[in-house]
Amino acid sequence: MPAPLRRAVRGWFDSRYVSLADHRQDIKDTLREVQTLGREVTALRAEIDGLRARVAKAGVDQAQARRWDDAHRLAQETAVAMDGVLQNEVLLWQAVDRLPPPDPDRSASQPVDRLSPPDPARSSGQPVDRLPGDTPAPSPERSSGGSA
């Protein structure tokens, strides 16, 4: 192959591809980076092993674990109780909303007749299972005391 043609082809290749020297330098840089990463991974593994050994040595105090379990149980029971309170509050406000509007003919100065016979459904001592307007009252779920 004539020298001018060879130079032209090499020039064309060099303009499009990495030179051999640059390629060698890239390989050396990559090798150094891989070695650095390998040392970092080794150091991290040693740190993980040390942390695992500390955790295994420390263990969990049984009294502390019981306190955590009690706190968790109490939190769940409190949540169930608060849910019941909120459901009762909703029922109360629904009952208030269903009350008839005040009678405009009745003045505030007239006393309420407290001697009228009481409502038998409310005076029987039995829980009312229906709300005004024949709407069944939802029964709130109660906790059995077990873990949920």
Provide the 3-class DSSP secondary structure of residue 135.
strand
Q: What is the average pLDDT across 54-67?
A: 86
Residue 111 confidence (pLDDT) above 70: no
Q: What is the average pLDDT across 119-145?
A: 53
Residue 110 confidence (pLDDT) above 50: yes
Q: Reduced to 3 DSSP states, what percent helix, strand and coil does the chain have, rounded to the nearest 5? A: 65, 5, 35
Residue 107 confidence (pLDDT) above 80: no
pLDDT of residue 142: 47
Instruction: Mention every residue, 6+ apart, whose C-beta is less than 8 A from residue 130.
Output: 136, 137
- Asked whether 80 and 141 are in contact (CB, 8 A), the reply is yes
Between 24 and 123, whose confidence is greater? 24
Cα gap 128→60, rounded to integer Å: 50
Cα gap 20→31, rounded to integer Å: 17
Cα gap 22→94, rounded to integer Å: 81
pTM of the model: 0.34
| 76-96 pLDDT tens trace | 999 999 999 999 999 999 999
Residue 128 confidence (pLDDT) above 50: yes
Nearest Cα neighbor of 135 from 68, 75, 102, 90 is 90
Percentage of residues in the chain having pLDDT higher than 70? 71
pLDDT of residue 143: 46
- Rounded to 5°, angle at Cα 128 from 137 and 134: 55
pLDDT of residue 75: 98
pLDDT of residue 105: 76
Give the Å distances, CA to CA, from 59 to 10, 64, 65, 72, 75.
69, 11, 11, 20, 25
Q: Facing residues of 130 across strands?
A: 136
Q: What is the average pLDDT across 130-137?
A: 56
Between 1 and 77, whose confidence is greater? 77
